Amino acid sequence: MTVNSHKDIDIIRTIYSQWLGLAQDETDFLINSAQFCALIKNSLADISWAGFYWYRQEQLLLGSFQGPVACTRIALNKGVCGAAFRENKIQCIADVHQFSDHIACDANAASELVIPIEYSGAVIGVFDIDSYSQARFSAEMGAEMKKLIQSFVEKTEFPKAIFP
Is 163 among the domain residues?
no
Is it the case that residue 3 has pLDDT exceeding 70?
A: no
Please check whether residue 143 is in contact with residue 90, taking contact to mean a CB–CB distance below 8 angstroms.
yes
What CATH number is associated with residue 56?
3.30.450.40
Please check whether residue 61 is in contact with residue 73, taking contact to mean a CB–CB distance below 8 angstroms.
yes
| Segments forming the whole domain that contains residue 51 | 5-155
Residue type, 33: S
Taking Cα atoms as reference points, which of 158, 139, 143 lies closest to residue 16?
143
pLDDT of residue 58: 96
Is 162 among the domain residues?
no
- Count of domains observed in the chain: 1
Report pLDDT digits (tens) over 75-91: 999 999 999 999 999 99
Residue type, 150: Q
- Predicted TM-score of the model (pTM): 0.94
Report pLDDT digits (tens) over 21-55: 999 999 999 999 999 999 999 999 999 999 999 99
What is the mean pLDDT of the segment spanning 131-137?
96
What is the mean pLDDT of the segment spanning 101-123?
92
Residue type, 29: F
If one compares 39 and 164, the residue with the highest pLDDT of the two is: 39
Is it the case that residue 2 has pLDDT exceeding 70?
A: no
Please check whether residue 80 is in contact with residue 106, taking contact to mean a CB–CB distance below 8 angstroms.
no
Is 164 among the domain residues?
no
